[in-house]
Structure 1
Amino acid sequence: MTLSRRRFLTISAAASVALPAQAQATEPAIWHGRALGADVSLRVEGLAPAASARLWRRVARVLEEVEARFSLFRRSELVRLNETGILAHPSADMRALIALSGQLNTATGGAFDPSVQVIWQALSEARDPSKARQLVGWQKVEIDADRIRLAPGAALTFNGIAQGFAADQIAALMRQEGLGNVLIDAGEVAALGHGAGGHPWRAGIAGPDGALLAERPLANRALATSSPAATRVGPDRAAHILHPDGRAPLWQTVSVSAPTAALADGLSTAFCLMKDHEIMQALAAFPGTRLEYLG
């Protein structure tokens, strides 16, 4: 697998302190895969080699389930909702992500809004996004216990939160397996326990060009980093993190740590569009969250 420079720096920065200079008696088990358009890597301390093949199969199944819910590039639950405007009997995962999206939308004053997918589509096709903005608004999404309904022409994307959700799902699997020292990088980073020698895992914060900006110790927490310019949309190369009202991002790179990767992911996405005092207010709504980098 070929890793981008941005992803390589994140992973290598995490590993550099986790492994002491001297050789280890037991090497960590390492797995690489891919989900939701991102490279995924796991580093597990204390896993017997004979158990690794079975664990990797379970990890692959977890990621397959996440793709089946939230991918925009296959016949997922999300695609069916966007195509038909209604999703009956949504899965527990879909309900969980919808609920968290609503909390984030409220706490960020609307900056986090999965309904911006129609704006992204307009920009990618070089269309005027002004008409698409009229369809945007989380408050227009009808959410019931057994149904989700969109307004005609509306569409959702969970690209600002689903990678974090994937990391959380893998973390839950690791706990079920009794594995307490694991580093998960699914586009956003979740760290369980510690690395080799009892040292905290360390995660790198990379800018849009892949340059390493900072490192943070991480133990039983998650870290998410968002850079609007890391991905560009359409022939006009618009930043991929979009505000519903069209305002431009205010920050080049934002990194947030939180108890869960989905929460860190959603907050780091929204904070790219928010003023610093608004960011502090939003953090107060979610105990245990921290702003790790803003620049």
Structure 2
Amino acid sequence: MTDYHRFSHEAMATAFEIIIAQDDVDATYAAQAAEAVFAEIDRLEDELSRFRPTSEISRLNRLRAGESLAVSLAAWDCLNLAKSVHAETDGAFDITIGPLMQLWRSPDGSLHEPEAERLALARKSIGSELFELEEDGCRVRALADHMVFDLGAVGKGYALDQAVQILQDWEISRVFLNAGDSTLLALDGPSGEEAWPVTLAEGALEKTLRDQALSGSGFMVQGAHLMNPRTLRPVPVQEKRSYALAPTAALSDALSTAFMIMSPEEIHTLCTRYPGVAWLEL
């Protein structure tokens, strides 16, 4: 019988979990591989978290209009993906939208209409069209003052994708990765099995995953926390939960957020354009 080796680690304000179920991998080897993965996730958090004052994202947030900064490959990958998803979803995904929620949310967590002047000022610094990516030297150029880059809707997925690279170096392929139950990434199924079983929306749907990522967005955990980049207003709280399936966890992470904004027709059109991308709503 195949042993299931489970490991967990707190990072990026969530719990990361690794499950390895491969006949030729014992507990000691699995633990060593998991330690290497968690070390990489910690390194990525140091680079990508806007809450770390020395991170590259924090340094980007201090740029003035016209200034640029050379960033690491990890930051470049995330910013490039975010800008691409912004374009492909017609602006439904935007990593610069964060400051608006701070204006709309009261200290008790309820929502209120901000003062018009404060809202107008914030809007001058919001929009993925307000930064440029210069491939030569991996430089990011801000086109507005006081921009706030926030990779929270893509960083955890990206960390899972990088974890896969580490595990492949350790010749581990039968593995399941989980970032806070909001993003899942499955490679080959456990030894003797075709895929990994998953349960969504508190048992509303059971399915299997293999060589695929799945991310979910909704309001059950955090309540009103999503901004609509198209209208610059909070997304009304809904009972539905939107799931995106994609070839990579970073992409599914970003798309699950965008799908909360997009119409069903827009989502179906996007999924038709990109093989391996699918949508579930529960």
**1:136–1:227 Cα change, 3 Å:** same
Q: Under a length normalisation based on structure 2, what TM-score does the superposition of the two structures give?
A: 0.85
Q: How does 1:260-271 map to 2 (within 5 A)?
A: 260-271=248-259
Counterpart position of 1:121? 102
Deviations 1:231-263 (A, max 9, x none): 14xxxxxx2121122342585210111110111
Question: Gapped runs of 5+ residues in structure 2?
Answer: 108-113
Instruction: Give the letter aligned to residue 164 of structure 1.
Output: G
Counterpart position of 1:5? none
Cα distance in 2 between the residues matched to 1:154 and 1:72: 12
| Structure 1 contact 254–272 (Cα < 8 Å) conserved | yes
Cα distance in 1 between the residues matched to 2:278 and 2:263: 16
Q: CA deviation at 1:196?
A: 4.6
1:286 and 2:274 correspond: yes
1:138 and 2:128 correspond: yes
Counterpart position of 1:212? 203
2:4 to 19, 28, 32: 28
SS of the residue aligned with 2:269?
helix
2:41 to 48, 54, 63: 63
RMSD: 2.0
Q: CA deviation at 1:228?
A: 3.6
Identity %, equivalent residues: 26
Higher helix share: 1
Question: Gapped runs of 5+ residues in structure 1?
Answer: 1-23, 233-238
**1:91–1:165 Cα change, 3 Å:** same
Counterpart position of 2:91? 110
Deviations 1:23-82 (A, max 9, x none): x3x421110002211111000012212313321221121101220222122132111211
SS of the residue aligned with 2:62?
helix
Counterpart position of 1:243? 228
**1:268–1:50 Cα change, 3 Å:** same
Counterpart position of 2:17? 41
| Structure 2 contact 132–140 (Cα < 8 Å) conserved | yes
Q: Under a length normalisation based on structure 1, what TM-score does the superposition of the two structures give?
A: 0.81
1:225 and 2:216 correspond: yes
| Structure 1 contact 222–257 (Cα < 8 Å) conserved | yes
Cα distance in 1 between the residues matched to 2:167 and 2:126: 37
Q: CA deviation at 1:160?
A: 1.2
| Structure 1 contact 191–221 (Cα < 8 Å) conserved | yes
SS of the residue aligned with 2:200?
strand
| Structure 1 contact 180–193 (Cα < 8 Å) conserved | yes
Q: How does 1:68-217 map to 2 (within 5 A)?
A: 68-75=46-53, 76-85=55-64, 88-124=69-105, 128=115, 130-131=119-120, 132-145=122-135, 146=137, 147-150=139-142, 151-187=144-180, 188-206=183-201, 211-217=202-208
| Structure 2 contact 18–177 (Cα < 8 Å) conserved | yes
Q: CA deviation at 1:279?
A: 0.9
SS of the residue aligned with 1:212?
coil
Instruction: Give the letter aligned to residue 232 of structure 2.
Output: G
Cα distance in 2 between the residues matched to 1:94 and 1:217: 31
Counterpart position of 2:110? none
SS of the residue aligned with 2:265?
helix
**1:149–1:120 Cα change, 3 Å:** farther
Cα distance in 2 between the residues matched to 1:123 and 1:250: 14
